Copies of this chain bind each other. A is one copy, B any other.
Amino acid sequence: MGVKTENGFQITRDQAIPGPDAMLATLTKAGYSNTRARRSVLEALFDANGQASPAELLALGRAHHPALGIVTVYRTLEVLSELGLVRKLHQDDGCHTYAPVQHHHGHYVICERCHRTIEFEGCDIAAVVASVESQTGFQVREHWLEMFGLCPDCRLEHPGAV
Contact = CB atoms under 8 A, between A and B. Distances in A.
Copies in the complex: 2
Contacts of A124: 127-128
A47 interface: no
Contacts of A109: 132, 136, 138, 140
A33 interface: no
Interface residues of A, number: 39
A155 interface: yes
Interface in A119-150: 120-125, 127-129, 131-132, 135-150
A151 interface: yes
A152 interface: yes
